[in-house]
Structure 1
Amino acid sequence: MAEHAGVSVATVSKVLNDRHGVSAATVDRVRAVIAELGYESSLVARSLRNQRTNVIGILVWDIEPFSAELLKGAARAIRGTAYELVVYAGGGKGSGRVGWERRYLSRLSGTLIDGAVLVTPTVLDVDGGAPVVAVDPHSGRETVPTVDADNLQGGRLATEHLIGLGHRRIGFLGRPPRDLESGPLREEGYRSALADAGIPADPALVRVADYDENDARNTVRELLSLPDRPTAVFAANDMSAIATMEVAASMGLRVPEDLSVVGFDNVPESVMSEPALTTVEQPIQMMGRLAVEILLEMLAGREPAQRHVRLPTRLIPRASSAPPPGR
């Protein structure tokens, strides 16, 4: 670069670091060469010089529909700011899901990122030397700023919708309690709606499935193979609901004529499924945007107006839910 600009390496260094002692004409010439060559200083070198990288990390266990939607909102939040985003994901692999955020944060903070948004973290007692905001955390709010949706009310909305259609045997497909705080809250909403309608909760209709796709499908097949199977299933996320519809079709059950299905999230896949999935919408993109905005406030040395944000959920009726057979 120095050779292209016809100056010394020391002069290029002064221009890159905005130091005095270089004429305006030389600065313009060096910057023109920088633009021509597409030069960018490394994040590590930048952090060593300035103790800042102007980069925000989005840390996720895996890139799946929920996290992909959240990234869209996060990207909008940094438009017009001096910050960039870097996404770090383990691809759902590695030894042990619990504590992944500690490992990821220790690899990035201090040299590559100024702060991080943790998406569905399993723990919040992270200390990576950088400010963090958690989206849909496993555990409670504690001291880390959080953004989530009203999962309890969302679980009620889904179940009340099915009850209103006339269903009384309503299955629930959730996640193991260890995975996310949102899962038990959605189940609590399900049970609360049943109780309010005077419908006893049948333990045989409540099932949990791990993140493994085969495990989810096997669990759904067991649920739909019961002698007195449910006429409707509320799945705790859209991808599980879509898997439920696929398993039902493979067993000769029609959705919604024989089985109604409701999901949770309203990811793009829900409207593209066949039939289109009735679901509870949580504003995922807004969650990503707000998480980054809170983090930007912290990076600016300001106390966020809200440290714990809970957004409303709403029911999106589509073609996968209808009255039970015979109604």
Structure 2
Amino acid sequence: MGSSLKPTIRDVAEQAGVSLATVSYVLSGRNGGSTRISEPTKERVLQAAQALGYVANHAARGMRRGRTDTVAVVVENLDSPWDRSLAEAAYRILPGHGYRVVVLLGHEAWRNFMLSGGADGAILGFGTDSGEELRTIADLATRGVAQVVVSQSLEPRGFDVVSMGEGGGIAEAAKYLAGRHRRIAVIDRVPGEAGTEGGRLEQFRAALERHGAQLDPALVRPSRGPWREAYADAVDLLSQPQPPTAVFATADLDAVCTLLAAERLGIKVPQDLEIIGVGNSELGQDAEPALTTVGPDPVQEEIVRLLLSRLEERRQALPEGGQPAGRHLPAPWKLHFRGTTAPRAEGS
């Protein structure tokens, strides 16, 4: 093989002393099915590929086979416990079924990638609002691309929808805090302008008012940056001459930052300060004390398996122009009481 030529799968097979089929199977990353290849053989193939500098051309293979065996997980921010947990669930489940996982960040990253045929399926782990996003989802559905979309408003038409139903849990948190506190602070993590209509802050504010409580604008902080900024906001709020006695954070990450700020300032939680987050994340559950939070029961694995079933359906031939019916997975949110709120009386 000339040094100017790229190594091929045949070169890898000759170097490892195995068949082309064995090399193809090992380098595809597949683990399921009836084919069984010994660990020493796998290792020999991988070492041969590394020695030759072989790089698989997934795009060309996808064009030949009509599929890429790739799934895109689209999230906003891997600092978010929800986003990270969704990506981890995909990496944990999908490779065992023969799919590679790519993570795309942000509202802009996924459209061109998916429309150019970059993946067989996608999980959109954030709410979709813009007309361009909705048109892209509809276009991909007509092409037969498997999709699971997190949305409060979309109807499943050729794709599946997970509706979180967060309003009920936020209202429950507001009712609890309104009955116990008058100085309630909010750290509001939003992708756009703070306090946009229909956002978590506005849902919380409206629920407080229904129970006779008002938010002091001086105790509301928008949070758009990294966790250090949320931590600084929490320190500032808790250092005021009349500090809040409760903090509602619209993301668990910021609630945990508030817990750390309280520890730094010597404020006892929950005796002197109650904290409620949003997300029901592992980050909050692992905090000390464990975070009281609004969120669904863990649903990330269920979302990934919903997409996996859609991918398997896609492999079955459908009539020209046909689409499988969309499915709806409700995931209502509730208030999970843990260690950052006062212990409840038995039976309450």
Per the normalisation by structure 2, the TM-score is 0.67
Q: Residues 69 and 284 of structure 1 are in contact (CA less than 8 Å); yes or no, is this contact kept in structure 2?
A: no
Q: Which residue in 2 is equivalent to 1:119?
A: 125
For 1:244-323, list aligned pairs within 5 A: 244-282=258-296, 283-286=298-301, 288-289=303-304, 292-293=307-308, 295-296=310-311, 299-300=314-315, 301=318, 302-306=323-327, 308-322=328-342
1:105-128 Cα distance to aligned partner (Å, 9 max, x none): 46xx42x42122222266524648
Q: Which residue in 1 is equivalent to 2:182?
A: 168
Q: Unaligned 5+ residue runs, structure 2?
A: 1-8, 26-34, 50-54, 344-348
Q: CA deviation at 1:44?
A: 2.2
- What letter is aligned with 1:310? P
Q: Residues 57 and 88 of structure 1 are in contact (CA less than 8 Å); yes or no, is this contact kept in structure 2?
A: yes
1:273-312 Cα distance to aligned partner (Å, 9 max, x none): 1222111232342453365247427735542342x54311
Which whole-Å CA distance do the structure 2 matches of 1:55 and 1:43 have between them? Answer: 9
Paired residue secondary structure (2:268):
coil
- What letter is aligned with 1:224? L
Which whole-Å CA distance do the structure 2 matches of 1:87 and 1:183 have between them? Answer: 33
1:20-43 Cα distance to aligned partner (Å, 9 max, x none): xxxxxxxx9xxxx99663589642
Which whole-Å CA distance do the structure 1 matches of 2:267 and 2:337 have between them? Answer: 20
Which whole-Å CA distance do the structure 2 matches of 1:75 and 1:291 have between them? Answer: 15
Q: Residues 248 and 254 of structure 1 are in contact (CA less than 8 Å); yes or no, is this contact kept in structure 2?
A: yes
For 1:224-263, list aligned pairs within 5 A: 224-263=238-277
Q: CA deviation at 1:194?
A: 1.3
Paired residue for 2:209, among 179, 195, 213? 195
Q: Which residue in 2 is equivalent to 1:205?
A: 219
Q: CA deviation at 1:320?
A: 0.9
Which whole-Å CA distance do the structure 2 matches of 1:295 and 1:177 have between them? Answer: 30
* CA pair 51-265 structure 1, distance change in 2 beyond 3 A: same
The Cα RMSD (Å) is 4.0
Q: CA deviation at 1:241?
A: 0.2
For 1:15-164, list aligned pairs within 5 A: 37=45, 42-64=57-79, 65-74=81-90, 78=94, 81=97, 83-89=98-104, 99-102=108-111, 104-105=113-114, 109-110=116-117, 112-120=118-126, 123=130, 124-125=133-134, 127=136, 131=145, 133=147, 135-136=149-150, 141=154, 145-164=160-179
Q: CA deviation at 1:100?
A: 3.0
Per the normalisation by structure 1, the TM-score is 0.71
* CA pair 4-276 structure 1, distance change in 2 beyond 3 A: closer
Paired residue secondary structure (2:266):
coil
Q: Percent identity?
A: 30
Q: CA deviation at 1:150?
A: 1.5
Q: Residues 73 and 101 of structure 2 are in contact (CA less than 8 Å); yes or no, is this contact kept in structure 1?
A: yes
- What letter is aligned with 1:153? G
Q: Residues 166 and 334 of structure 2 are in contact (CA less than 8 Å); yes or no, is this contact kept in structure 1?
A: no
Paired residue secondary structure (1:56):
strand
Q: Residues 140 and 181 of structure 1 are in contact (CA less than 8 Å); yes or no, is this contact kept in structure 2?
A: no
Q: Residues 134 and 147 of structure 1 are in contact (CA less than 8 Å); yes or no, is this contact kept in structure 2?
A: yes
Which whole-Å CA distance do the structure 1 matches of 2:127 and 2:251 have between them? Answer: 17
